[in-house]
Amino acid sequence: MNTAPLPTVLACGAWLKNAACLLVDGAPVWSAVHGDLSDPAACAALETSVQQLLAGHGAPIAAVAHDLHPDFFSTQLAVQLAATLGVPAIGVQHHHAHIAAVVAEHGIEGPVVGLALDGVGLGTDGQAWGGELLWMHGAQWQRLGHLVPLALPGGDRAAREPWRMAASALHALGRGDEIATRFAPQVGGTIASGVQQMLAKNLNCPQTSSTGRWFDAAAGALRLSVRQTDEAEAAIALEAAAARCLALHPGTAALPGAVIDAQNRLDLRGLMPALFDAAPDGVDAAAAGFHLALADALADWAGRAALEHGSRDVCLGGGCFFNRILRERVTDRLQAANLRVHRPLDKGCGDAGLALGQAWVAAQQLAATTAQEQPTKETEPCA
């Protein structure tokens, strides 16, 4: 990692729970949290905040960092601002930024392995990511693996209707012919049959590696959520069911079936039959078993990567780590393997702290480029 002072970088954050950050001498100067940029008032607040951050600091800005998604208001603002200032606009992949924010906050030197788990972030391949195993060292990073993707029947609509994600999981299990009969009582026969056909023909079914969508699928399979009006509503219901079980039965076992495949993808499909086939009085136990199995598999996956890549530091980032059962179980398992576990502190694990990671990555890239461009000092010949 470059040890020279980091350049000053402004970062504009992402879409959800937006906040801007100015990185000055490696330390963050934050704006207020503006909220989601679907609200025009939040967009206006972000514009005001970046001007205030710039006005409050005298040194020139070296770059403006932003998310990779071109349609985010924060991305467009960053690009416009960079052009006005005559500096680079640097895109930083969403999950890379999540892990970088942890590295920056804790001042970690050396390589780290990161688990970045959330609802969605645009990947470098143009796909929807959200269940990512990363390696990072300074300006360098690599996607080591990800969750086996699920289809999103209906695109973004599937993120608002967990039953669709459950239908997607049924299809992935080769049980797609059950979709219409299983979900017709909840959503109507025409809609359920339409989603079944959509999945069978792969029509408007983009893929996602999102951990959040796997939580939705589990909640939908257990009939805990059909449609959600608030962010993470289904995942919260699933966690609440698991917590009820674990409070009464702390020795509940993890479900079998999670495996790491030959492509280093974590495959959760094997957990789903127990959820679809759970009796009404077994819903809480199935929810608990799903949580424990997911946490154990994630910890084993990250622990193996840390060993292979010579790191003892594992960073946890992304909104799925608001889930206490998941967070604590993963942490305990990793620490039992003599690994150091780091989580976001100041802004929490969601997108409110993402701008720090964006700014840190951009600063590292600029510092590395500057170091490469420095001429090598020649040694004076001996007299």
**Inter-residue contact 78 to 65 (CB < 8 Å):** yes
pLDDT tens-digit series, residues 40-67: 999 999 999 999 999 988 779 999 999 9
- Three-state DSSP class for residue 15: coil
pLDDT grade, residue 374 (50/70/90)? low
Backbone angles phi, psi at 319, to 5 degrees: -60, -20
User: Is the model's pLDDT at 366 over the cut of 70?
Assistant: yes
Q: What local confidence, expressed as pLDDT, does residue 372 receive?
A: 73
Give the tokens for residue 311: 């790191």
β-pair type (27-30, 21-24): antiparallel
How many C-beta atoms lie closer than 10 Å to residue 373's C-beta? 7
Give the percent of the chain with pLDDT over 70.
96
- Tally of helices (H runs) and strands (E runs) in the chain: 13, 14
pLDDT at 375: 56
| 2 has pLDDT over 90 | no
Which residues fall within 8 angstroms of residue 23, CB to CB, at 6 or more apart? 6, 8, 9, 10, 11, 29, 104, 356, 359, 360, 363
CA distances (Å), 339 to each of 64, 110, 305, 334, in order?
Answer: 34, 14, 11, 6
Report the pLDDT averaged over residues 97-117. 97
Q: What is the largest CA-CA distance in the chain?
A: 92
Neighbours of 226 (CB within 10 A): 16
Q: What's the token pair of residue 8?
A: 């000053």
Read off the pLDDT of residues 147-165 as tens digits, 9 standing for 90 and up: 999 999 999 999 999 999 9
pLDDT of 267 over the 80 cut: yes
Contact between 275 and 286 (Cβ < 8 Å): yes
Instruction: Give the confidence band of 3 by pLDDT, cuts at 50, 70, 90.
Output: low
**Secondary-structure breakdown of the chain: helix, strand, coil percentages, each rounded to the nearest 5:** 50, 15, 35
pLDDT tens digit sequence for 199-219:
999 999 999 999 999 999 999
Instruction: Report the pLDDT averaged over residues 220-227.
Output: 97
How does residue 377 score in pLDDT terms, banded at 50, 70 and 90?
very low
* Distance, CA of 77 to CA of 49 (rounded, Å): 12
| Angular region, 257: left φ>0, alpha ψ -120 to 50, beta rest | left
pTM of the model: 0.95
